[in-house]
């Protein structure tokens, strides 16, 4: 009797676990970075855990949801790449703060956060991203990212700023707050090249560059509305 009882309890927990695991909204499976080794202590390097979580989500069937919960996580270079053939949309919800690793050797390809070859990315969650201490690295890059949305995140540069968009089609940026320190080198906020249909709205960009949204070669159908382009102050 006792054995059967314990078995039933375990079984109940198993189903409870499954139920919690799949509560990501719209039936998406949730992949929590803390289950892949990320630690919200602000000093453990988390890039590898982030990328391992991403790979698991990208390989999964159906919509998937990568979650970076509340807390401060430190990360060097992290590349989130596709294609993710079965998992559209793929949501990256960042509730916490991502702090760039001050160790310059953590940036072997001179990127910080890069999204590549993706269709149906949704980046959201009220996150704050605090960029790398040296200006030689782009803050965040979107390369060949289609039909995607970036919304409601704060980006704080520690030495200039540049959000780079290239080779992409149909990208919406909404409710972004981008700031750089007062004495940082002036840089453009968002740099767009070889991309079509980029819509930017309800954004504050305070990076001190001549242009908050710079349309470079091959940028077509770019709409920037309600972009508040102001002097650096962070
Ligand atoms: C997606 O499909 C391409 C080409 O069919 C394949 O090379 C790639 O490995 C697939 N990616 C995933 C994550 O399944
Ligand atoms: C994104 O769109 C471009 C141009 O339409 C296409 O060549 C590319 O394969 C698409 N990439 C993905 C990951 O869907
Ligand atoms: C652009 O991408 C969004 C989000 O994936 C999608 O809902 C919309 O239909 C796409 N628009 C076009 C013109 O492809």
Strand partners, 121: 90
Domain-wise residue ranges, the chain? 2-101+110-229
Which atom of ligand 3 is the closest one to the Cα of 170? 1
Q: Which of 4-18, 36-50, 86-100, 207-221 has the lowest mean pLDDT?
A: 4-18
Judge whether residue 23 has pLDDT over 60. Answer: no
**Confidence (pTM):** 0.85
CATH for 2-101+110-229? 2.160.20.10
Q: Is the CB of 118 under 6 A from ligand 1?
A: no
Q: Are strands 29-32 and 64-68 parallel, antiparallel or unpaired?
A: parallel
For residue 101, give every residue at least 6 positions away whose Cβ sits within 8 Å of its Cβ, in sequence order, or none: 45, 47, 74, 75, 76, 132
The 10s digit of each residue's pLDDT in 94-103 is: 999 999 999 8
Judge whether residue 36 has pLDDT over 90. Answer: yes
Distance 27 CA to ligand 2 centre (A): 26
Give CA separation, 67 vs 43, 51, 154, 163, 169, in Å. Answer: 19, 12, 17, 22, 25
Q: How far apart are CA 76 and CA 97, in angstroms?
A: 13
Quick check: 196 and 169 in contact, CB under 8 A?
A: yes
CA 22 to chain centroid, in Å, comes to 21
């Amino acid at each position: 009797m006792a054995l059967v009882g314990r078995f039933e309890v375990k079984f109940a927990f198993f189903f409870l676990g499954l139920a919690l695991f799949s509560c990501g909204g719209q039936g998406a499976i949730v992949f929590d970075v803390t289950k892949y080794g990320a630690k919200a202590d602000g000093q453990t390097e988390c890039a590898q855990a982030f990328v391992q979580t991403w790979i698991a989500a990208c390989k999964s069937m159906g919509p998937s949801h990568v979650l970076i919960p509340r807390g401060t996580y430190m990360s060097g270079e992290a590349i989130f790449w596709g294609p993710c053939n079965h998992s559209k949309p793929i949501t990256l919800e960042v509730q916490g703060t991502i702090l760039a690793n001050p160790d310059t050797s953590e940036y072997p390809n001179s990127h910080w956060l890069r999204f590549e070859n993706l269709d149906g990315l949704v980046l959201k969650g009220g996150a704050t991203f605090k960029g790398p201490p040296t200006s030689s690295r782009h803050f965040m890059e979107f390369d060949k990212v289609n039909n995607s949305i970036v919304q409601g995140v704060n980006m704080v540069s520690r030495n200039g700023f540049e959000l780079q968009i290239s080779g992409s089609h149909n990208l919406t940026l909404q409710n972004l707050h981008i700031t750089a320190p007062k004495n940082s080198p002036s840089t453009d906020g968002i740099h767009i090249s070889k991309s079509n249909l980029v819509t930017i709205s309800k954004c504050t960009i305070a990076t001190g560059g001549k242009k908050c949204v710079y349309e470079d070669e091959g940028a077509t159908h770019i709409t920037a509305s309600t972009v508040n382009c102001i002097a650096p102050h962070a």
